[in-house]
């Protein structure tokens, strides 16, 4: 079984995508076929060749992009609307038709309104109108005929073709030409705006450089050929040298040099150098992150003032940026429930309208003796009104209202470090009423930090900076720098931040007493660091015994320090709350999420400390993974729609149990992106309120667009039945509404990260 993935060009509306999908599905051997209008990607599986699929696409009047991203002919530029219009034959014909219809519009439609007779002969005006109809309508007629003969269906193009030909039949030449020109321009405008929305995602690729500076050996060095038996290949005398190569040629394990201000070409690990790196294109973080040897970096990030040597960690096709783009494009292909409903509605809507229009044209004249044709210039016959209904019935505005909003929301989220895995998850998040959080790595940093240093000789009672406390930290660091324990790393990091890491030389003869203490020699003194329980049986420390016990009850881990059998003090270490957690949770409460619950396997004291710090509404501690799943299910029964936020790996069962699983990114970005429905690419909970507001804004926009489309359709429908409208006014209203809902959807591309718009929450259904 073959699988082909093609990029389709020339589509102007979602109806085009459905027509191509159904036409390709009719090919012999096709087992599955799907075409996403949002991404223009056609996926075909079955015993059918790529060439057969391309031939069918072209038979239907569209084209396929080549592998280098250029269309096989006339791929339209997207730099400006008029360039877009002139870049394709079909849209250029619409422009020409617009020029031909101008005499009829001015002399036959506008001048009579103000009581001025046309100076041009009616035959000339009619000839120009018919020429405009034929020019602008040629692609429409052709598409309608292909849909009828290949797909055996009546679509939007067929509606407009019937209406235009019917208008010619009753002598409304100018209206026939004007209807077709406005429809063609409206379709082109819809295609242009959707292309702009697609470009918002693909523009992410522009943040990655095309070339990189790599360290490689000199090959076939002319300066040293023949020296000491050197006959070619890598030069043993030159060593590694800087070479500029395409990013696609880089191999995993090679070393690239990134100079100040350059973009990092590949995912990797810093070998040497230190700098601040702007990761906003990937994670959405607004502040550059300090990086040093051993830290991971992402392709597309912008290097700051330092020179970095980076070991390439992944090939270009598999770096974080490429995965983000693939996942976002895949997300655009997953239709939300609202969008699926609109698509199903549109399938039955068009045939139903044709039937209604036929009844409008036949029933009044047949049963009530009403005029079929126009009896006089001031009265509309029922055939004309039926043709108006066909024009009004064009569902373009309704069909485009949902996908353009979802694609804009997904693109905005990706630019700001929030990766939605599908339109369905945008809709689900908007309905959330309760959010459950894992503690470690989500509400906290996930790594221990020093919370307090308390020397037995402290003169300030720990309330102010103290020389004795600094000395205690420095002495403990001399021991702990020989340990790989997470608590030891927390002590060393605090000493480095305070400039105390080198006050004492590294300890000698360090010995770990598993689970109890670590002992070593510092400047001839035997220094011991151990637990509170260990010190109770070795070194008296009544002075701080109650304080250490209080620290334990508060969820801290007290590290007791002694030297030569004398108690010196303690260092309290704990997993610190993530910066910004409290503010993020406060914003969620302001946005109407009433239940913010912490689910953790830690003890109650530790959970209570973090919960009080960040401001959750409920705490559940000592939970096993299955307990977290049951807690999420209970929340769903109580609130309906629940989100779970975790690290994307350890909390996978709870993430799956929630309506929407949200994974934290950071160092685990690759795993997080693969695990949950939504990934926060940076270790910033501030992105969660933004994601919630963005999802609610998207659904609010969709509801407004659908309501606007239907209400205006009904209004024009009523006007047409009463005989008070005209065909060109009907199509102008349809084009106007399509443009309005499209621009309204595109507004989501610019929703700011810190927006405090009060979007009314979507009510669960």
Long-range contacts of 50-59 (CB under 8 A, 24+ apart): 50/2, 50/4, 50/6, 52/27, 53/4, 53/6, 53/24, 53/27, 54/6, 56/23, 56/24, 56/27, 56/150, 57/6, 57/8, 57/20, 57/23, 57/24, 59/23, 59/146, 59/150
Query: Which residues are registered as beta bridge partners of 234?
Result: 219
Q: Any residues with CB less than 8 A from the CB of 298 and at least 6 apart, and which?
A: 264, 267, 279, 282, 283, 319, 320, 321, 669
Catalytic hit among 267, 438, 575, 647: 438
CA distance to 305, 378, 461, 546, 555, per residue, from 550 (Å): 45, 92, 15, 6, 9
Contact indicator for 680, 418 with CB cutoff of 8 Å:
yes
Say how far apart CA 375 and CA 371 lie, in whole Å.
Answer: 7
Say how far apart CA 268 and CA 5 lie, in whole Å.
Answer: 30
249 catalytic per annotation: no
Cα-Cα-Cα-Cα torsion 339, 340, 342, 346, nearest 10 degrees, comes to: 140
Say how far apart CA 513 and CA 531 lie, in whole Å.
Answer: 11
Q: Any residues with CB less than 8 A from the CB of 452 and at least 6 apart, and which?
A: 462, 551, 556, 571, 572
Long-range contacts of 105-108 (CB under 8 A, 24+ apart): 105/174, 105/178, 108/174
Structure tokens at 80: 């400006």
Calculate the CA 127 to chain-centre distance: 51
In this structure, the strands spanning 240-246 and 268-272 are unpaired
Say how far apart CA 425 and CA 248 lie, in whole Å.
Answer: 33
Structure tokens at 210: 């095309």
Residue with tokens 């990114």: 665
599-616: burial string, b at 16+ Cβ within 10 Å, e else: bbbbeeebbbbbbebbbb
Say how far apart CA 137 and CA 118 lie, in whole Å.
Answer: 26
Contact indicator for 492, 501 with CB cutoff of 8 Å:
yes
Q: Which of 451, 470, 449, 453 is nearest to 461 (CA)?
A: 453
Structure tokens at 85: 């219009």
Residues with catalytic function: 438
């Amino acid at each position: 079984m073959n699988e082909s993935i093609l990029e389709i060009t020339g589509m102007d509306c979602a109806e085009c995508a459905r027509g191509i999908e159904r036409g390709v599905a009719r090919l012999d051997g096709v087992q599955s076929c799907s075409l996403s209008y949002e991404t223009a990607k056609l996926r075909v599986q079955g015993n059918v060749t790529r060439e057969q699929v391309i031939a069918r696409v072209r038979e239907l009047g569209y084209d396929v992009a080549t592998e280098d991203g250029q269309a096989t002919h006339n791929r339209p530029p997207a730099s400006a609307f008029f360039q877009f219009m002139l870049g394709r034959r079909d849209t250029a014909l619409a422009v020409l038709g617009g020029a031909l219809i101008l005499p009829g519009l001015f002399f036959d439609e506008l001048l009579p309104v103000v009581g001025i007779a046309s100076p041009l002969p009616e035959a000339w005006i009619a000839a120009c109108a018919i020429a405009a109809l034929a020019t602008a309508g040629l692609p429409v007629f052709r598409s309608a005929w292909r849909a009828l003969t290949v797909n055996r269906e009546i679509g939007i193009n067929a509606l407009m073709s019937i209406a235009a030909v019917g208008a010619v039949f009753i002598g409304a030449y100018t209206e026939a030409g004007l209807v077709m020109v406005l429809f063609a321009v409206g379709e082109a405008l819809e295609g242009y705006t959707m292309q702009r929305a697609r470009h918002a995602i693909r523009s992410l690729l522009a943040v990655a450089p095309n070339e990189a500076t790599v360290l490689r050996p000199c090959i076939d060095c002319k300066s040293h050929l023949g020296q000491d038996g050197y006959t070619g290949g890598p030069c043993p005398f030159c060593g590694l040298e800087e070479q500029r190569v395409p990013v696609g040629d880089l191999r995993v394990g090679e070393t690239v040099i990134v100079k100040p201000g350059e973009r990092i070409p590949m995912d990797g690990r810093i070998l040497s150098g230190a700098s601040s790196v702007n990761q906003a294109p990937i994670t959405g973080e607004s502040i550059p992150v300090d990086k040093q040897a051993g830290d991971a970096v992402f392709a597309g990030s912008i290097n700051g003032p330092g020179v970095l040597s980076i070991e390439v960690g992944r090939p270009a096709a598999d770096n974080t940026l490429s995965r983000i783009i693939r996942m976002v494009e895949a997300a655009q292909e997953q239709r939300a429930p609202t969008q699926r409903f609109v698509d199903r509605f549109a399938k039955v809507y068009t045939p139903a309208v044709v039937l209604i229009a036929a009844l409008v044209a036949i029933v009044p004249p047949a049963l009530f003796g009403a005029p079929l044709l126009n009896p006089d210039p001031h009265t509309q016959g029922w055939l004309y009104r039926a043709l108006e209904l066909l024009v009004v019935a064009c569902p373009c505005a309704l069909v485009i209202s949902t996908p353009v909003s979802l694609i804009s929301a997904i693109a905005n989220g990706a630019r700001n470090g929030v990766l939605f895995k599908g339109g369905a998850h945008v809709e689900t998040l908007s309905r959330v009423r309760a959010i459950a959080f894992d503690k470690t790595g989500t509400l906290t940093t996930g790594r221990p930090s020093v919370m307090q240093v308390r020397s037995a000789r402290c003169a300030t009672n720990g309330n102010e900076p103290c020389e004795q406390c600094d000395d205690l930290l420095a002495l403990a660091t001399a021991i702990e720098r020989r340990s790989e324990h997470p608590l030891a790393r927390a002590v060393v990091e605090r000493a480095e931040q305070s400039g105390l890491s080198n006050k004492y030389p590294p300890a000698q003869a360090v010995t770990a007493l598993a689970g109890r203490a670590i002992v070593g020699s510092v400047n001839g003194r035997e220094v011991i660091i151990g637990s509170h329980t260990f010190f109770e049986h070795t070194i008296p420390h009544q002075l701080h015994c109650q304080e250490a016990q209080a620290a334990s009850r508060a969820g801290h881990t007290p590290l007791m320090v002694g030297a030569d059998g004398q108690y010196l003090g303690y260092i309290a270490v704990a997993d610190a709350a993530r910066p910004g957690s409290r503010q993020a949770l406060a914003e969620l409460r302001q946005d109407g999420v009433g239940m913010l619950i912490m689910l953790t396997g830690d003890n109650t004291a530790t959970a209570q400390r973090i919960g009080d710090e960040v401001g959750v509404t409920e705490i559940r501690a000592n939970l096993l993974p299955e307990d977290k799943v049951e807690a999420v299910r209970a929340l769903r029964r109580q609130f309906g729609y629940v989100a779970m936020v975790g690290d994307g790996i350890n909390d996978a069962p709870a993430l799956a149990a929630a309506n929407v699983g949200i994974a934290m990114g950071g160092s685990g970005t690759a795993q997080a992106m693969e695990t949950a429905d939504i990934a926060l690419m940076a270790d910033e909970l501030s992105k969660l309120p933004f994601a919630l507001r963005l999802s609610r804004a998207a659904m609010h926009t969709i509801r407004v667009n659908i309501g606007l489309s239907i209400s205006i359709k009904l209004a024009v429908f009523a006007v047409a039945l009463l005989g008070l409208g005209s065909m060109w006014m009907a199509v102008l209203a349809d084009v106007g509404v399509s443009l309005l809902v499209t621009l309204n959807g595109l507004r989501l591309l610019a929703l700011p990260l810190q927006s405090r718009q009060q979007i009314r929450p979507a009510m669960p259904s």
